[in-house]
Amino acid sequence: MLDAGVVVKELQQMRDEGHLSDALLRKAVRSLKSADDRYDWVGVYLVGEGEELWLHNYIGEPTEHAKIPFGTGVCGRAIAERRNLNIRDVSKEENYLACTPETQSELVILIRAGDEIYGQIDIDSDQMSAFTEDDEIALIGIADKLAEQLAAERR
Ligand code: SME
């Protein structure tokens, strides 16, 4: 089970030691992937150029979706609509980009600080309706810590 408090503490410790967002984003993905069996694919997309999301790092099956235009797929929709998305059954989504045929549900949590959106944490599960409100709350805490570092670097 994911203990978001521990992950947030580890990320803050890395910040205190002088690590930058690249290291924190990789650490977050590693921590999430190993925290829960339901998290079959875990990745971070960052806002790139030309209204596109660019895949920063991931653990799981290789994906052909390294670049996703805003509005396309679940990831692109989350950023276009500026909100988190918990998709309980991806087969019911018309606007969906499959990573693997095994994926049943998907959770996208934005990495944001105030009005600024830096990217998102994307998690796929091979289980139907895998993600609960507890997952969402935990992931928001971790995403907020990542946003803190990204905001500090953009100042
Ligand atoms: N399923 C996502 C694409 C990302 S891959 O699953 C890694 C989407 O529909 O945007």
Residue 17's contacts (CB-CB under 8 Å, 6 or more residues apart) are: none
Q: Measured from the CB, is residue 40 less than 6 Å from ligand 1?
A: no
Whether ligand 1 lies within 6 angstroms of the CB of 146 is answered as: no
Cβ of 124 closer than 6 Å to ligand 1, yes or no, is yes
pLDDT at 64: 97
Tokens 């998290």, residue located: 39
In tens digits, the chain (155 residues) has pLDDT values of: 899 999 999 999 999 999 999 999 999 999 999 999 999 999 999 999 999 999 999 999 999 999 999 999 999 999 999 999 999 999 999 999 999 999 999 999 999 999 999 999 999 999 999 999 999 999 999 999 999 999 999 98
What pLDDT, on the 0 to 100 scale, is given for residue 1? Answer: 80
Ligand 1 centroid vs 110 CA: distance in angstroms? 14
Structure tokens at 96: 């969906």
* Dihedral sign (CA 30, 31, 34, 38): negative
96 C-alpha to ligand 1 centroid (Å): 7
In whole angstroms, give the CA distance from residue 41 to residue 106.
9
- Looking at residue 155, its pLDDT comes to 80
Backbone angles phi and psi of 48, in degrees to 5: -100, -140
- Residues contacting residue 72 through CB under 8 Å, at least 6 positions apart: 95, 97
Statement: the pTM of the whole predicted model exceeds 0.95:
yes
Burial class (CB within 10 angstroms; exposed 0-12, middle 13-18, buried 19+) of 56: middle
Q: How far is the CA of 40 from the centre of ligand 1 (A)?
A: 13
What pLDDT, on a 0 to 100 scale, did the predictor assign at position 94?
Answer: 94
